[in-house]
Amino acid sequence: MKISPFVLKPTFRYGSQTPWGGSELARLFHKEAPDPRTGESLEMSVIPSLESTDENGTSLSELISQYGADLTGTAVRGEFPLLLKLIDARERLSVQVHPDDSYAAANENKLGKTEAWVILACKPDASIVYGLKEGTDPGVLKAACESGTGVEDLLNYAPVHVGDVFYIPAGMVHAIGEGIVLYEIQQSSDVTYRFYDWNRTDAAGNKRALHIRQALDVTRYDLDTGKAVPRELSDPNCKRELLLDTPHFKLQRLLDCLNLPFTSHEESFSVLTALSGGFIECDQDKIHLAEGTTLFIPANCRDFRLTAKHCLLAGPAC
């Protein structure tokens, strides 16, 4: 059964859930952010209580149950594999790390989390925590975490600019810095282990909960801390760049698209986020895509054409 591509309506994490969040998602992408501290717009999500929907309010998990492989693809089996967010960090986030699939399955009964970031906006001196300094060993990190001092000296800081791409495999220590808006594609998991929060306290003087034992269990010390290097792909209808091809997802950047054709790809779905205004034409329908709009492209999709200046296209690694 052929299915038309459809716009996803996001859900949000905000307020006390994201005390570091801000108002940039509303300002840049006209999101209906529910709070001045809205940190995350979950564009494509089947996380319980945080599910995205179609424009009729039907949740993505309901659509998957209804359409099965026509929606997700013949190669997508088991749990829905991906989660897509737009994130606004008014303040820096906690230093954190995510487990791989085996640790998460054994300890959380969930998928692990490998993710990637594309920087969409940032202040001039913005940076992220991206791994550990070379030579840091488990004993030194454990002592610093347990004492609450010295952690910052062990972190690798990377300056960021609009368009930069960072791959964050499970086990990589990381934190989004202050004044950054980014696109995040990741495994469909909400497992995060925080091991440092900059000694911050809330209005009542309480510090955020940390997960030092689990964080130390899953931290890797052998990871590359270089940003991803895009590779240009040949396409007569746009400038197409392969940003990442990982064991869990693929990510492309599409620029200056003019009637770019899309056809069904029965093995897997894909998801397109418009970072500039544009539109698609499918049969006799024309769907406008405002900045920040995310479009779900079913595996067994009706043919359509895309016209837009700047988009990101992601899908599972099938």
Positions marked catalytic:
194
As a whole number of angstroms, the distance between CA 168 and CA 98 comes to 9
Phi-psi region of 31 (alpha: psi -120 to 50; beta: other; left: phi over 0): beta
Phi-psi region of 93 (alpha: psi -120 to 50; beta: other; left: phi over 0): beta
Q: What's the chain's length in residues? A: 318
* SS3 of residue 235 by DSSP: coil
Measured between its terminal Cα atoms, the distance across the chain in Å is: 21
Enter the tokens of residue 49: 């209580």
As a whole number of angstroms, the distance between CA 312 and CA 106 comes to 33
Half-sphere exposure in the Cβ direction for 109 (13 Å, CA): 0
DSSP H or E stretch at residue 196: strand 193-196
Enter the tokens of residue 90: 């008014």
DSSP H or E stretch at residue 253: strand 249-262
- The residue among 120, 202, 220 whose CA lies nearest residue 163 is 120
CB of 226 closer than 8 Å to CB of 131: no
CB of 122 closer than 8 Å to CB of 164: no
Phi-psi region of 220 (alpha: psi -120 to 50; beta: other; left: phi over 0): beta
Helix spans in 138-292 (H): 138-147, 212-218
